[in-house]
Chains A and B, each alone.
Chain A
Amino acid sequence: MEQHTGKIGIREYIAMVILMIGTKLADDLPSILFQKLENAAWFTPIIAGFISIIPIFFLIKVLSQYPKTNLMEILQIILGKPIGYLFVFMLWIMGLAANTFDTAIYTDIIGTMYFTETPTIFIYIVLMAVSAYGAKKGLEQIGSVAASVITYIKVSLFIALILAFSNGNINYIFPIFGPGKWEVVKESSLKVSLYIDFIYLGVIASYVSSTKAFTKGTWISLIIVIIEIPIAMLAYLCLFDYESVKLLNYPFHETIRYISLGFLTNIETFFFPFWLLASFVRFSIYLYISAVMFGWLFKIKNFEYLIPPFATLLVILGMIPETPTFTVADMKAKALSFATPTFFFLPLILWSIMKIRGGNKNEKKEM
């Protein structure tokens, strides 16, 4: 189909990655991190970010050896047909699970913080319908939407954080090591998988205009999210103190409810639409990646027709848990620790097997 032959540029790519990962600072991820590490939780995104340089480095190494091939095919080439297939299937299941948790949480945020009367199922349906519509338009369209809205989203976030810092007290970050130095390092390395989205980027790597753009874009966006998420978490900490921030389910949304701009109170109505936009883009990308992987797994050529059924499936799955605020957050916290080894070792394994086998033979022949 015509729309998928188009490629996305580095600008679009970076915008997409930042929206995919950066938006995590505004859901329940900070609260999951604060639970264990209290006032030192803001170290986690930094430490985890530095650790994740290793898998991302090897992932890029592998991907650049096979330009114009997507992650699924690479897995199959390197690991052999059955094992590669199994790995892709596993990645797809993990992606689906993460997607279900996240959409359920976002629906819960909208339902508990903003639209209390609207039935949950309806919020869910509208959220998924919009995302599915976006995803069906194709990667190129998602990319250009992401690139055009990211400035506004980040400016609004910047304003919110500035206001939070000006209302907060910097002394709340002390004692600096929270529950203890080793505790911080240990917990942080368990949560490296908060950057697991980078693996899934391999799925769409071949859509990026060039390998160089993909490599450069990935590093730039990693740096941006490593800076962005800790700053946001520091802002919550300075505003609420560690005892109180642990009690909040969605710190970002409590923050924008508390801050006021001079005589303007209730300014959450200003920040909420930007957050919604970011969420739509985020889920569009997820849906798209899920569909690409599923299409590859079961040899479905027109995979974009899978997007609406996927969205429906997510609504049905996401509606199952009772009180998602806690149940889903618990599951997500466990899944985060569970996914870490996969994220860390998969690229390493891929790279070493590739090296043992002597690199990409096709590539060498061409050279």
Chain B
Amino acid sequence: MKKRRCKLLSIILLLLVLLSGCWDQKQVDKRAYVYAVGMDMADEENKFNITYLIVNPEYGSQVSSNTNESPQELITFETNDLMTSKNIANVVIAKEITYDLLRVVIVSEKLAKDKRFIRWMYDATKDREIRRDSYFIVTKENVSTFLKVNKPKLETRLDQYFELILKRGIDNGMIPDMDLHRFFNITEADADLALGIYGTTQGNNEDTGKVEDQLLAGELKIKGETNATQFLGSALFKEGQMIGKLNAEETRITILLNDTLEMSDVLTTYPDPFDKDFRIAARLIKKQKNKVNMKIKNGSGEINVTIPLIIEILSDHSMVNYGRNAEKRKELKKKIEDNLSAKINDFVKKTQEEYKGEPFGWSLLSRRHFKTLSEYEKFDWMKTYPTMKVNVKVDVRFGEFGKQGEVPNLKRVRD
């Protein structure tokens, strides 16, 4: 009898152990989920302004869609770091702040250009809840204004909006596929330049006269009733500090040259070689990796890159009928290759002269040419790169010429 009691008691006591699993228990409706964190320059020295975009998980979910609460909440205040700010926010926010659903880290251009920026940025690696695959965005204006103005018309749930628009932008090659992980990675390796997604809500209503490829966020003129936010181009970082901006075209060139970045659905235009007034629409497909040939010898080197590209011609405004005309196809191919190669080589020259570093990930490929780390570190890729001879060639193969390969003969139609 006594033994049985003992057993029962010990079983009950054992059940108590299971309760310890509840120590870290958190209830969804008692937490405030920060979806985006913004960082701005503060007035006070060595502090920064933090902006929290808190999403409401109740809003728009199918089960309880009849909530009257707003889909998000936005607060901005001054803070010392990313961690203590969670407590300060509770002065106005009723629930416990958590970074569990944090997907977007946004930094204003002004702060990104500051020397102290990297110190604050490393807070993100310290906090357990911040995931390294969060998107990394740089905005032209203050992040507090950016998030206030950003009001998508059709996606009231901002988490959905960011996820979709960034995904599309990355697929199109308009913005680079950059997350915190890559940013830290490149900064720590100290050989290449890192990129950030560039965005703004400050539209520019003047006509810049640029082709859409050469635009940067905020420069695309869009009429109608829509969200003012634009994501286009990228911010360039050197040693953890922003040093410049790349427009859409430069961003695409970077993605083309950097095999660790990807784009899948790229449409673009080229000047029509047969009629100066028009531009040809084309789809760029890159299926193979670049052929990079590197020669490294005593303190400098030479890089030869060949980019294999498949191009589908989508429009034919000069009505040349490439499909049937092998001669003209050949000419077009040559023109596109020359045009692209020239642009790419110009940009490479720009990175060597202006930025003194490259965002193409070539330092990784160069590592193969060294036997030990000390040799590699002594070579100092970032310092040596501007003195290197770089030559980029594009190798174009034509794909299809649109669903309908041919257009009618213009002369006969006009007749």
- Footprint of B on A, CB under 8 Å? 38-39, 112-119, 122, 126, 129, 169, 171-172, 174-181, 240-244, 247, 254, 257-258, 260, 265-266
Contacts and interface: CB of A to CB of B under 8 A. Distances in A.
Given A38-B373, A117-B23, A254-B132, 6 more contacts: A112-B128, A122-B23, A171-B368, A175-B375, A177-B372, A241-B188
B365 A171 contact: yes
A182 B185 CA distance: 28
Give the bracket for the number of chain B residues in contact with chain A.
Answer: 20 to 34
B368 A174 contact: yes
A231 B188 CA distance: 23
A30 B373 CA distance: 19
A303 to B, nearest CB: 22
Nearest to B375: A175
A118 B23 contact: yes
Nearest to A248: B125
B325 interface: no
Interface in B254-268: 260
A329 to B, nearest CB: 18
Nearest to B18: A126
Interface in B149-191: 181, 184-185, 188-190
Contacts of B367: 171-172, 174-175
B365 A178 contact: no
A175 B377 CA distance: 10
Main secondary structure of the interface of B (DSSP, over half): helix
Nearest to A115: B24
A179 B185 contact: no
Contact of B132 (A172, A180, A258): A258
B225 to A, nearest CB: 32
A116 B128 contact: yes
A365 B190 CA distance: 70
A88 B24 CA distance: 42
Contacts of A180: 372-374
B414 interface: no
B364 A169 contact: yes
Contacts of B376: 175
A247 B370 CA distance: 23
A175 B370 contact: yes
Contacts of A172: 364, 367
B131 interface: yes
**Top-4 shortest CB links A-B:** A174-B367, A118-B23, A175-B370, A171-B364
B20 A122 contact: yes
Given A112-B128, A113-B128, A169-B260, A174 B370 contact: yes
B184 A244 contact: yes
A241 B372 contact: no
A168 B189 CA distance: 15
B23 A241 contact: no
Contacts of A254: 132
Contacts of B353: none
A282 B312 CA distance: 58
A175 B188 contact: no
Interface in B361-398: 364-365, 367-368, 370-376
A241 B373 contact: no
A180 B372 CA distance: 5
B133 interface: yes
Contact of B188 (A169, A244, A257, A266): A244
Given A171-B365, A260-B133, A126 B23 contact: no
